[in-house]
Structure 1
């Protein structure tokens, strides 16, 4: 009987979909990503009230989960943050045999905070947002942090054994944006502009440490962080402040609020993580299989 390697993954949303796509591309499970993604998108629509449910959530959960076959996806229930705190069906686990001749399997295990599960040594491998690494463990320095490939150099080994292996390429960016009144005319809205700027910079409170790491503490001299009021749309709050940083995909909402898009400061994407102190030969082989052929954000880690 071969070894089963557990891997922490997000329970729902774009990061989980990206992980499942990576698994489908690397391993022989062509239908897994579509099956799980379609189920969770349907359940999200039910939770948001876009669809009417024909059965209650417990009957749907029983229908989805094949608890007698670990190679089929299993789901679980969580309380959603929306009004009324409805129960929402999310991903729980699935076991995938590897074609390695040793009987090795990987088990994807849903976690609310995969990165923190690796930090506490529950897992050797996991997938989570690169944002969480910046928010929690990278050192703040005067110089900016520009690339995911530079993140590991900013992690103090005393703080954690977790390191980034590679990005998965599902990239959206933390983007600098400003009103025309604040932005320099015929000049770039970028880090150089911020070097000279003094005044308010609107950000989400949870991104304060991330923004400090990405921009560098030197750039933020004279900058006063402002935060959107509860219930206030982020782009609207940035328009009030005149300058801000926020995640953008197309930037259309920012433009609707009269904002001009500036420099894409740092990619927000799902990353493969490892806890270096928990890596065995079997874990290293799985890590290599999942990272093989990754985009240019892949880091040089030992096999």
Structure 2
């Protein structure tokens, strides 16, 4: 008989897709792959509706009733949340599903920030963006963090029992960007930032993350500034001269005349464990989920 293990997962976007792809890669048969494809296509469609790039012929409650099979407790279910964009439009997101992986039935439970659910000991295992770990618990030190492998060494065990087990390979990077005029022929890397004094444009929520990634020595003398709501991040960085932003191809940055510099840190979905809650079953499951290496589509949600 399979053992049911609850696992916290993101509700939408690139991180959830990376989780579903990883589970499909280790599961026997095509059942998990079919669930992954269905959830991914449904949520991409719902995202398009929320962003007004597609029009629905039914209301959100009708779509929600159609997507969720409430008669089967193990089927995929969705829920309706308020998006945080202007006007707070409603958005359908993932709620739960049960998938069979090896000896386990994984009960995937959607959470807005799974990392925090692990911190409060609701789950032994969960998936979330590595960014949130840096924003929440990684200690700020003079030297910066450059890889996932360095994260656990920067987590004070008296602050949290959560540790990072592995990344899922859906890597986009926090990347340095600057105007050619500001660089004046210099290389755009951590050393440049360490010698720089002035404004650095970042997304508002990333001040602590960028401080952890660059290190407090490099950010000494830097003033963090943020894009206005009406400006694209790359356009705001071009106005300031120097910034850090997520990038896959860098084409938008180049369109704004920016030079792409060092990739500072991978913004990757990670498998996390609460070490105080991890028993033998969770350890076996963690081993199963961390062994394969897969390629995932690079997208910024």
TM category (shorter chain) comes to over 0.9
- Displacement after TM superposition at 1:33 (Å): 1.0
What do the CA deviations read for 1:185-242 (whole angstroms, capped 9, x no partner)? 1x31001112221221111221111111111111122222222223222112111111
- Identify the residue that residue 50 of structure 1 maps to in structure 2: 53
Q: Does 1:258 align with 2:257?
A: yes
**What SS is found at the alignment partner of 1:219?**
helix
Note closer, same or farther for the CA distance 1:99–1:181 as it changes in structure 2 (3 Å cut): closer
- Displacement after TM superposition at 1:80 (Å): 1.8
In 1, are the aligned partners of 2:26 and 2:292 still within 8 Å (CA)? no
Q: Does 1:20 align with 2:23?
A: no
Deviates more, 1:47-56 or 1:106-115: 47-56
Note closer, same or farther for the CA distance 1:82–1:206 as it changes in structure 2 (3 Å cut): closer
- Identify the residue that residue 286 of structure 1 maps to in structure 2: 285
- Identify the residue that residue 299 of structure 2 maps to in structure 1: none
The CA RMSD measured in Å over matched residues stands at 1.5
Match of 1:33 among 36, 40, 48: 36
**What SS is found at the alignment partner of 1:97?**
strand
- Flag structure 1 segments of 5+ consecutive residues without an equivalent: 296-303
In 1, are the aligned partners of 2:21 and 2:33 still within 8 Å (CA)? no
TM-score norm. by structure 1 comes to 0.92
Q: Distance in 2 between the 1:90 and 1:265 partners?
A: 31
**4+ aligned runs moved over 6 Å, structure 1:** none
Q: Does 1:179 align with 2:182?
A: no
Deviates more, 1:166-175 or 1:61-70: 61-70
- Identify the residue that residue 68 of structure 2 maps to in structure 1: 65
What do the CA deviations read for 1:108-150 (whole angstroms, capped 9, x no partner)? 0000010001101111111000000001100111111111011
Q: Distance in 1 between the 2:80 and 2:222 partners?
A: 43
Deviates more, 1:196-205 or 1:153-162: 196-205
- Displacement after TM superposition at 1:2 (Å): 4.7
How do residues 212-227 of structure 1 correspond to structure 2 at under 5 angstroms?
Answer: 212-227=211-226
Q: Does 1:91 align with 2:94?
A: yes
**What SS is found at the alignment partner of 1:218?**
helix
In 2, are the aligned partners of 1:174 and 1:265 still within 8 Å (CA)? yes
